[in-house]
Each structure stands twice: as C-alpha cells, then as structure tokens.
A and B are shown apart, each in its own frame.
Chain A
Amino acid sequence: MKRSRVLLAVATAALLTGVLAACSDGDDTAGGDDGPVTIRLLEYQQARADAVEPHLAAFEQAMAEQGRDIEVELIVDPLTDEQFRTKITQQFHSGTAPDVIDMGSTHVTGFAGAGYLLELDEYLDEWDTWGEYFDPVKDAARQVDGHFYAVPHEANVQSLFYRKDVLEQLGVDTSQPQTWDDLIARLEQVTAQTGEPSIVIPAGTAWGGGTWTEGFLPIAAGTGSTFYDEETGRWTLESEGLTASFDLYARLVEAGLMPVQDLLNPNPWEPTKYVRFPEGTMPVAAQGTWGWRYDWGPEGTAPIEDVQQKVGTWDYPALVPGTEPYSISGGGFVYAINAETEHAEAAMELAKWLSEGTAAAEQLAAIGAAAPHPGIADIEPYASDPSLLDAEEKVRTGIRAPFGDGADQVSQAVQSATEAILLGDADGEQAASAFAEEAAELLGDALVEQ
C-alpha cells in the first residue's frame, strides 16, 4: 500500500512539474541585471516591423559603445488592431507581455489605467528631445491621471483624402468644402454619374476601433460640443454635436453615398480603401496620414501610381453652424513599456533611440506619418516628403481628439450605433439615443456626466 502511494505521489509530482513547465513562459532571456540584457520589442504590423528592424543593430552598437550590453529581440506578430488589443491584454494580464510594445496611442489609456504600462515621467523629463515635442502631441500623450505612459514616435493627422484625377474627370469641384452640405452635394454629383457610393467613413462593428478613431471621433470632435471633460474625467453622452455626427452618417447612408454592404462585411477596409479608392470608383475616404505610404504608397497595401499627384486631402468641413473646416491630430503610434519589465532603463533607451534621428525619419517615411517633434524635418528621407511635412504642420495647428478613461467602451457604443444606421434600423437621432444608452451602461456612473 505504501509503495503504491509513493508511486502515486511521484506520478502526480511529475505530472504537476510537466504542467507547470508547459505553462511557464520558457524564456528567461530577460535575465537579471548582470550580464547581457535582452529587450523584447513587439511589432504587430509587418510594415512597421520591416521599418524598425534595420535600426536595431545600430541601437545595439550604440549601446555597446556606451559600455551597455543590450540586445533587442524583435517579435513580429501581424494582427489587426482588434486582435492585437485582445491578445496583448491577455499577455499583460498573465504577465507574459514583451518589454516594449509599439501600439496605437488609442490603446494606451486603457492599458495605463489598468497598471500594465510603466509610468515614464522621470525618464521623459531627463530626455532633451521630449522638451521639443509639439504641445498637441504631448497633451494627447498625457493620461487622465496627469502622467505619461508611452513615447509617441509619430503623429497623425486625420483628413478626407480624395482622388483629384477622378473628381476633375467627373467635373466635380476639388477645392476645400466649407460645410458638409457642400461636400454632400459634390458626392451626390459623383454618385449620380458613377452609380456607386462615393465616400467611405469607417462605421459599424466590423471596422472595430477604426470606426471610432478614424470615423466618428474626427467628426464629433469638430462640432465644438464637449465630449470628454479632462478635468472631471467624465463623458458627455448627449449633445448637439453628437446628434449631428450620427445624423451625418444617416444622411450619407440614406443618400446611397456610403458603401453599406462593404461596411457590414468582415475586414471592410479591403473592398473600400484597398480596392474602390485605388481604382477610383469611390473617390473620397476618411483617412489618417499613413494613407500616403502604408495604404497607397509605392510599397503600400494597395499602391496608387503617382499618389502625390492623383490624391489630395481636405480638412473636415464644418458640420454645425458657427464652426470652420478643421484638421484633427491624434492616433499615431507610441512605444509603451511593460510595467513588469526587468529592464526599464534599457527599454526606455530603445524607445528614445527609435523616436529620433535617422531611425525615426526612416520609419516615418516608410509608414507615412508626421514627426511628433521638429527635430526630424531635416533628416532624409522624411525631409523629402511634402505630404508628411504638410501633415507635420497640421499637427501643430489642428484640433485634438478627446480621449479619456472609458474610451474603449465609448468606442464600442459608437460601433453599435453606427451599425444600426448602416442596417437602416435607426436614423441619426435614434442612433444618438441608442449610443447614449449603451455607452452609459458600459461606462458606469463614475465616468458619465450626470
């Protein structure tokens, strides 16, 4: 009997050891502070991984010259934004996230709030370049608790991209539209001639977070209504501006100007931004600065030949009386550092290195983003790209999209409300009301202006 119990105990222990070994990360490259330090850098977009990879050896060399033995392990895990957010959340929660994560700035609030990201105030204060960052970029990076949790390495301007060549051919005015009424009249001209939808603005649930950051937010932010109060940390869920924004979506859908069927399909950006806009059958698209390279550049996903000549950008037209056309900044990528990293200083060195000088200039030109500080404007190849330099100018002068704790939940409610418009289940007012109700439920009383 005793022997059998010993056998049982040994078998159980062996199994438990196996289970625990299987569950463990199996990667002790992080190591202690003695000896070489390995920093794991995560890129979830292939183009960004390709852009950053050539600079890692130079970083290691520069660190070696300072007497620091730092190696960078690049983890390339191509995912959509939604997939990335879901996956990295689990990694943060389980303590297996990499040291440095290159992510959209819209993700930072949620992760910083949960305590997954390292507070960087002290590191940034000691970094000279940080003092030169454009104020709108710094303001956007500051979280609701007043601290910084990420290093912005690019800035983005959201605009309406249009096909100059196509509109001119159709005899449609290409000057800056002053109001949405003006723009809608032009879009109707296009649709009347082509029989096809003429504009894509991200909407619905299939586009995920893009519906919020690239679609709804730039429109709502220009209405002048308070959406998020940074002082109280609360969202205002009912306002004239919000209703007008939902009403705009409804008008575009009812007039047949938006590609409803495409927006309801999974991966709606493929038939719209990767097919219809490049082929010219849908000549207007709401888009960030990265459209110049990442989407439609020579090495982009859906290249447009002579993109600089064929494509132009408009500021967002005024939606409500008393406002003017505007450009809107925000949504660029940042380097965030895992709060549980064992090598915070080395990770910060990497984030700084990649955010300035040639490393930054080459990444910005490859991705198609504006510089977040003025120190890159003279560095090639960025210095030779007029569209990016123009975007950099707009970063300084554009309005800033509001962001705060609970943005993820507000984003979900916007997705649902715009989906209802696409399906014909709601008009603008009904969608605004449904949005307010769902957002209030998701946010809870503490985050909603009563």
Chain B
Amino acid sequence: MTSVPAPVEPATRPGRPAPGRPGPRRRGLHGRGLIPLLLGPSVLLIVVFVVAPAVYGLYLSLTNTQLTGFAARDPQFVGLENFRTLLGSDDFLASLGRTGQFVLFSAIIGQTVLGMLAALLLRRTWLRGKGVFGAAILLPMVVPEVVAALTWASVLSSSEDGTFNRLIGLFGGAAAAPLQEWPMLSIVIVNIWRGIAFAMIMFQAALEDVPDELIEASRVDGASATQVFRYVTLPLIRGPIFLYLLLTTITTVGVFGLVYFLTQGGPGSATELTSIFIFQRAFQYSQIGLGSAASVILLALLMVLGLTYVRLTKVEV
C-alpha cells in the first residue's frame, strides 16, 4: 500500500499571529465581552431550535405519546420499550438498510465521483463554455426540492406522455414505469442529479488550493494524468473530500421531500428510507413516541458515522 503524504501547511501565515500568542486586538475584544455578544444570538438560536427540540425528542422517545386517539390523552413513560420495538422490527431495520444503500450509491459514489469529474473538467483550460457547463450543473441545486421532485415525477411518469417514455419511444422502446420497476435506482439518480453541484463546488474550491508547481513538477517527472491525480492531487485534497463525505452523508440520510414526493416510500416499501419511516410512524400513524425513538437511533448512527469520518481523516469540524 502506498503511504499518502500529509498536505504541507505553512507554519505561519502573513498577517496572522503565531499560535499561543494572542495579539492585543483579540484580547481587547475578549475583554470588552464582544465575543459573547456576537456568539450569544447564535448560541441562543441553536439552543432554542436545535438542542431543546433534540432533548424533547429524546424525552418523547421514552414515552408512548400519540398524536391522535384516546391513548393520546395519557402518555406513559415506557423506558426503552420503543427502542426494543424498533430494533426488533424488520420494517425499521429494512429502512435503515435502504437508507444505507441510498447514501452509498447516490451520495458517496454518485455525487462524489461525478462532482469530482465536473470539478476537474472545469479546471481544464481547453474546455469551452465553462459558464454554461457550470450553470447546468448548478441548476438542480437552485431548484426547490418539491419542484425538483414533481419535475422528476413527470419525467419518470408511467404514462406514455412522460418525458422518459417519450424518449425511449423515439428508439422504438415500449413505455416503462421507472418509479415502479426500478424505484431505488430512480431515486438514486434523482439525488445524484440534485447533489452533484454541491460536490462540484466543494471540490473546485479544494482543487484551487493545489499548487500548480506540484502538478507541473510531477508531469516533468513523467507522471501520467491519472498518476498526478492519484498521487499528488488526491492526497492534497483528502481533507475536503472527507469533509464533503461527512456533510453529504448527513444531508442524504435526512433526505425526505425529494423521495416522498416521488414515491411516498413505495411501491410497497421499496423506497421507504428511514426518514420516511419516521414521518409515517410519527405523523401518519400518529405514534410520535415511536417516531422520536427512530429519530434518536438515526441520530446516534449518524454521530458514530460522523466521528468515524473525523477520526479517519482528522478533519477539523
């Protein structure tokens, strides 16, 4: 196995105080309490809108709270019963499996690989029409989630008027029903389409930081384009790549609207991701306690995954 050299960081940067030696200005700000004043609103918002709901969700997960029915009047503390139920539920475990597949194929493989290819292409000096190409890639990110989902629902419609069926009709193919016949593949493709722009932006920014001198030196030494990318570029942008993987994993696990408006988790439960399982349990079946427990399990899994990424790459987050 080839060892990967760590990216070189300058000891200090011009205009920046050395570590451990706070400048007089920093001390002054701290002394006047400006930092707490500036951070206060953010901290307050995080506490009110993130921490408090999470704590309340944790509390709900330990109860049998329902939103409708006579049982809703008198919720009981049930300890870990909801967690026992979920971890013994084939439906929940299957939804976790589907979520894993969705993240792996759409985010980790699809968005990352295609985003990287797009970013590399945009660095090519010979490429014409970069603006158009970049805009085309960015467009899916700009479109609101519901609009994107409904647009794809129209494209993949099983009717003969659907865009996909019209296209295959041009080649003599029979009408298909992609959302019924290949539901997971369909939502993977749609999510790749939607997420590729963010990957491209992240990787473009990372590639900008790769010194041209290193690339040129490798080429002078006879490295092929693939070798330059594999042994020079990739190690230098490893941090941003793993940071992207962390972010895209978290956001993809939370994808709801895009899939819900396309398939509602169906057919059957073929695209019932954990986010949809939670929505159904909490709001359609009104079992908010059980839904909260599923959310807590998902949060715990994401934290483990996130910490693993951070540990593996020593990314600063």
Residue pair B36, A8 in contact (C-beta under 8 Å): yes
**One of B127-135, B218-226, B262-270 contacting the partner:** B262-270
Tell me if B171 is interfacial: C-beta within 8 Å of chain A.
Answer: no
Given contacts A8-B33, A15-B44, A412-B284, contact A111 B68 (CB under 8 A): yes
Determine how close the nearest CB of chain B comes to the CB of A4; give it in whole angstroms: 3
Query: Interface code A296-321, partner B: CB below 8 Å = 1, 0 otherwise?
Result: 00000000000000000000000000
A window 54-94: CB within 8 A of B: 82, 85-86, 89-90, 93
A window 397-450: CB within 8 A of B: 405-406, 408-409, 412, 419-420, 422-423, 425, 442, 444, 446
Determine how close the nearest CB of chain B comes to the CB of A115; give it in whole angstroms: 5
Tell me if A205 is interfacial: C-beta within 8 Å of chain B.
Answer: yes
Chain A residue contacts of B267, Cβ below 8 A? 204, 264, 419, 422-423
Determine the distance from Cα of A72 to Cα of B40 in the docked complex, in whole angstroms: 44
Determine the distance from Cα of A420 to Cα of B141 in the docked complex, in whole angstroms: 35
Chain A residue contacts of B313, Cβ below 8 A? none
Tell me if B163 is interfacial: C-beta within 8 Å of chain A.
Answer: no
Chain B residue contacts of A266, Cβ below 8 A? 153, 261-264
Chain B residue contacts of A90, Cβ below 8 A? 283
Residue pair A86, B268 in contact (C-beta under 8 Å): no
Residue pair A11, B153 in contact (C-beta under 8 Å): no
A window 89-108: CB within 8 A of B: 89-90, 93
* A423 nearest CB neighbor, chain B only: B268
Chain B residue contacts of A82, Cβ below 8 A? 284
Tell me if A255 is interfacial: C-beta within 8 Å of chain B.
Answer: no
Determine how close the nearest CB of chain A comes to the CB of B28; give it in whole angstroms: 12
Determine the distance from Cα of A409 to Cα of B285 in the docked complex, in whole angstroms: 6
Determine how close the nearest CB of chain B comes to the CB of A103; give it in whole angstroms: 12
Determine the distance from Cα of A37 to Cα of B213 in the docked complex, in whole angstroms: 77
Determine the distance from Cα of A205 to Cα of B73 in the docked complex, in whole angstroms: 28
Residue pair A406, B69 in contact (C-beta under 8 Å): yes
Tell me if A12 is interfacial: C-beta within 8 Å of chain B.
Answer: yes
Chain B residue contacts of A423, Cβ below 8 A? 267-268
B window 122-172: CB within 8 A of A: 153, 157-159
Residue pair A425, B284 in contact (C-beta under 8 Å): no
Tell me if A171 is interfacial: C-beta within 8 Å of chain B.
Answer: no
Residue pair B48, A19 in contact (C-beta under 8 Å): yes
Determine the distance from Cα of A163 to Cα of B266 in the docked complex, in whole angstroms: 31
Query: Interface code B38-70, partner A: CB below 8 Å = 1, 0 otherwise?
Result: 001100110010000000000000000011111
Determine the distance from Cα of A444 to Cα of B75 in the docked complex, in whole angstroms: 14
Chain B residue contacts of A256, Cβ below 8 A? none
Tell me if A364 is interfacial: C-beta within 8 Å of chain B.
Answer: no
Residue pair A8, B37 in contact (C-beta under 8 Å): yes
Determine the distance from Cα of A111 to Cα of B44 in the docked complex, in whole angstroms: 35
Query: Contacting A205 at CB < 8 Å: which of B34, B40, B70, B266?
Result: B266
Tell me if A265 is interfacial: C-beta within 8 Å of chain B.
Answer: yes
Tell me if B287 is interfacial: C-beta within 8 Å of chain A.
Answer: yes
B residues contacting the other copy or chain, number (CB 8 A) = 39
Given contacts A11-B37, A114-B66, contact A4 B32 (CB under 8 A): yes
Tell me if A7 is interfacial: C-beta within 8 Å of chain B.
Answer: yes
Tell me if B197 is interfacial: C-beta within 8 Å of chain A.
Answer: no
Query: Interface code B260-294, partner A: CB below 8 Å = 1, 0 otherwise?
Result: 01111111100000000000100111110000000
Query: Contacting A8 at CB < 8 Å: which of B40, B69, B268, B283?
Result: B40
Residue pair B264, A408 in contact (C-beta under 8 Å): no
Tell me if A113 is interfacial: C-beta within 8 Å of chain B.
Answer: yes
Determine how close the nearest CB of chain B comes to the CB of A262; give it in whole angstroms: 8
Tell me if A49 is interfacial: C-beta within 8 Å of chain B.
Answer: no
Chain A residue contacts of B177, Cβ below 8 A? 261, 265
B window 153-204: CB within 8 A of A: 153, 157-159, 177, 179-180
Chain B residue contacts of A405, Cβ below 8 A? 69-71
Tell me if B247 is interfacial: C-beta within 8 Å of chain A.
Answer: no
Chain A residue contacts of B158, Cβ below 8 A? 261, 265
Chain B residue contacts of A271, Cβ below 8 A? 159
Tell me if A177 is interfacial: C-beta within 8 Å of chain B.
Answer: no
Tell me if A325 is interfacial: C-beta within 8 Å of chain B.
Answer: no
Tell me if B117 is interfacial: C-beta within 8 Å of chain A.
Answer: no
Determine the distance from Cα of A206 to Cα of B271 in the docked complex, in whole angstroms: 13
Tell me if A192 is interfacial: C-beta within 8 Å of chain B.
Answer: no
Residue pair B69, A408 in contact (C-beta under 8 Å): yes
* B260 nearest CB neighbor, chain A only: A266
Determine the distance from Cα of A408 to Cα of B68 in the docked complex, in whole angstroms: 9
Residue pair B287, A442 in contact (C-beta under 8 Å): yes
Chain B residue contacts of A406, Cβ below 8 A? 69
Determine the distance from Cα of A271 to Cα of B177 in the docked complex, in whole angstroms: 14
Tell me if B4 is interfacial: C-beta within 8 Å of chain A.
Answer: no
Residue pair A89, B44 in contact (C-beta under 8 Å): no
Query: Interface code A1-29, partner B: CB below 8 Å = 1, 0 otherwise?
Result: 10011011001100110010000000000
Tell me if A110 is interfacial: C-beta within 8 Å of chain B.
Answer: yes
* B285 nearest CB neighbor, chain A only: A412
Tell me if B18 is interfacial: C-beta within 8 Å of chain A.
Answer: no
Chain A residue contacts of B66, Cβ below 8 A? 114
Determine the distance from Cα of A3 to Cα of B238 in the docked complex, in whole angstroms: 46
Determine the distance from Cα of A425 to Cα of B67 in the docked complex, in whole angstroms: 31
Determine the distance from Cα of A357 to Cα of B20 in the docked complex, in whole angstroms: 84
Residue pair A444, B71 in contact (C-beta under 8 Å): yes
Given A110-B69, A114-B69, 19 more A-B residue pairs with CB atoms under 8 Å apart are A7-B37, A8-B40, A11-B41, A15-B41, A85-B284, A86-B283, A86-B284, A113-B68, A114-B70, A204-B267, A264-B266, A265-B158, A266-B264, A405-B71, A406-B69, A408-B286, A409-B69, A412-B280, A419-B267
A sample of 18 cross-chain residue pairs with beta-carbon separation below 8 angstroms, ordered by A number, consists of A4-B33, A4-B34, A7-B33, A8-B40, A11-B40, A15-B40, A16-B44, A85-B284, A109-B69, A110-B69, A113-B71, A114-B73, A204-B267, A261-B177, A271-B159, A408-B285, A412-B280, A425-B268
Give the interface of A toward B (CB within 8 A): 1, 4-5, 7-8, 11-12, 15-16, 19, 82, 85-86, 89-90, 93, 109-111, 113-116, 144-145, 204-206, 261, 264-266, 271, 405-406, 408-409, 412, 419-420, 422-423, 425, 442, 444, 446
